[in-house]
């Protein structure tokens, strides 16, 4: 109903013939136009909550142990879906400050191993339930974008279920739970953090808003067959339920902390500025010198982590 999944599926199946002429492109724009702007934050919030379901089980598998922490891989099953990820739990007596991390798709739970120190904070990092081929060249970009849409419909409710589980744990300080959205996490963690008002604070690292502008900026580099402006328009229409700028005004009075790179080409400065401008107080934007962080760049991840931790908790 709200998200018109069946229409999107039909659209993808027909895309190879649909876009052979300019007339067909204009037809697609007309068909997608209502999707891009008709729905509000309140429509999407209720739809995501309807999809959440209830927690059925949480399985923890030991991975490693140090003098100060224990690390587990987890599988959270709900009545509607399931999610995997990794948790690093401090040893000792809680309750502990806690961060739920939604980072880049390729990094996922592996970010836990890249965060050194700060062993008195419980960390939970999720893997995205992405299915399909990660390919944007030619017309494959359209089907990949719809796969991202489907993944987003699953991820936001699952992040809400992860928060439910965290708030049930005796070792978690319920007044000190934050959400950290890194890169692609902007499209899933921002909605989840805004919807669940128990989250104390939202941190956005190298992310932003204005989906259309982000896609337009990257279209050529990704190898799409459409001109940048058109790829941005269609991508924004398909991914409209996850536009961060729809959600961020509703975070207040909870604080927003943003750490963005002046040289970031994936989420360029205009994207970060759009999100920051749409947010209400209290908010803070910290500019960093880096380009966009890539999977495996441990030193850069460590540097950005320290920036965030020092802003949240002071020098450690």
Domain of residue 233: give its range.
5-313
Tokens of 241: 């339920």
Distance between CA atoms of residues 162 and 55, nearest Å: 9
Phi, psi of 208 (to 5 degrees): 175, -165
Q: How many other C-beta atoms lie within 10 A of the C-beta of residue 10?
A: 11
Nearest alpha carbon to residue 282 among 304, 262, 258: 258
What's the start-to-end Cα distance of the chain, in Å? 49
What are the start-end ranges of the H helices in 38-69?
41-52
Q: What is the total count of domains within the chain?
A: 1
Q: If you write DSSP's letter for every residue of 96-139 in order, what string do you get? A: EEEEEEE--TTTGGGHHHH--S-TTEEEEEE-----S----TBT
Task: Please report, for the chain, how many H helices and E strands are present, in that order.
Answer: 12, 9
Per-residue pLDDT of the chain (316 residues; tens, 9 = 90+): 344 443 444 344 444 444 443 444 444 444 444 544 556 777 788 889 999 999 999 999 999 999 999 999 999 999 999 999 999 999 988 899 999 999 877 777 888 887 777 789 999 999 988 776 777 787 777 888 888 899 999 999 999 999 999 999 999 999 999 999 988 889 999 999 999 999 999 999 889 999 888 888 888 888 887 888 888 888 888 888 999 999 999 999 999 999 888 888 888 899 999 999 999 999 999 887 766 555 555 566 666 666 676 767 665 4
CATH number at residue 270: 3.40.50.1820
Beta bridge partners of 88: 71, 123
């Amino acid at each position: 109903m709200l998200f018109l999944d069946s229409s999107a599926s039909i659209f993808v199946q027909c895309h190879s013939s649909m876009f052979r002429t300019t007339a067909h492109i204009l037809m697609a724009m007309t068909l997608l136009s209502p999707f891009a702007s008709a729905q509000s934050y309140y429509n999407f919030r209720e739809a995501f909550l309807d999809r959440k379901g209830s927690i059925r089980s949480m399985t923890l598998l030991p991975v490693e142990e140090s003098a100060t922490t224990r690390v587990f891989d987890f599988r959270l099953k709900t009545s509607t879906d399931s999610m995997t990820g990794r948790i690093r739990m401090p040893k000792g007596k809680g309750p502990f400050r806690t961060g739920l991390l939604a980072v880049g798709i390729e990094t996922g739970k592996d970010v836990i191993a890249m965060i050194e120190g700060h062993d008195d904070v419980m960390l939970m990092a999720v893997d995205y339930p992405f299915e399909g081929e990660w390919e944007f060249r030619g017309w494959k970009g359209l089907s990949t974008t719809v796969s991202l849409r489907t993944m987003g419909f699953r991820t936001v409710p699952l992040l809400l279920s992860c928060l439910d589980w965290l708030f049930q744990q005796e070792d978690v300080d319920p007044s000190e739970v934050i959400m950290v959205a890194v890169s692609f996490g902007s499209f899933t963690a921002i909605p989840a953090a805004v919807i669940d008002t128990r989250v104390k604070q939202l941190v956005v690292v190298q992310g932003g808003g204005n989906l259309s502008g982000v896609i337009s900026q990257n279209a050529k580099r990704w190898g799409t067959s459409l001109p940048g402006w058109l790829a941005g328009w269609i991508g924004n229409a398909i991914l409209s339920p996850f536009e961060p700028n729809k959600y961020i005004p509703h975070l207040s009075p909870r604080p927003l902390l943003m750490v963005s790179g002046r040289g970031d080409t994936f989420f360029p400065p205009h994207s970060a500025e759009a999100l920051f401008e749409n947010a209400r107080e209290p908010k803070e934007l910290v500019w960093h010198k880096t380009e966009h962080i890539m999977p495996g760049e441990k030193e850069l991840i460590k540097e950005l982590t320290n920036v965030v931790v020092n802003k949240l908790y002071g020098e450690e």
